[in-house]
Amino acid sequence: MFFNNITVKIWICNSATDFRKQIDGLSILVADSFSMQPTSGEFFVFYNPKRDKIKILYWDNDGFALWYKRLEQSKFIIPQNLQTPLAINSKQLQWLLDGLDLSKFVSKKRLEYKDFF
């Protein structure tokens, strides 16, 4: 998947989105609801009310890109009752896209050494 190793922040919208919205409508939603710049390079994840579709909007150097996934037989497990957009990392995004429940998985912190023997 090309979302591995993304170093920018990834935000999940705190409520379902009307999927008739395309790039322009979603970028306005980012500016208004997220109170963020849609051209920041960060990834913005939107889902429909049935939770079987996801759109990811991001600024790619010189224009917007919109990624879309539709599940045929299941639903994305997205945290309920979010008050604000939820920040996740690229590993958590991959879990979400793979159909895993984010609340049941915790990433290990990266181990870093300052001194070696």
Q: How confident is the model at residue 3 (pLDDT cuts 50, 70, 90)?
A: low
**Number of folded domains in the chain?**
1
**Residue numbers of the domain that contains 67:** 10-104
Is there a domain that residue 39 lies in?
A: yes
Is there a domain that residue 86 lies in?
A: yes
Token pair 């896209």 is found at 97
What is the pTM for the complete model shown? 0.84
Is there a domain that residue 112 lies in?
A: no
Give the per-residue pLDDT at 117: 66
Dihedral sign from CA coordinates of 73, 68, 91, 104:
negative
Distance CA 9, CA 59 (A): 12
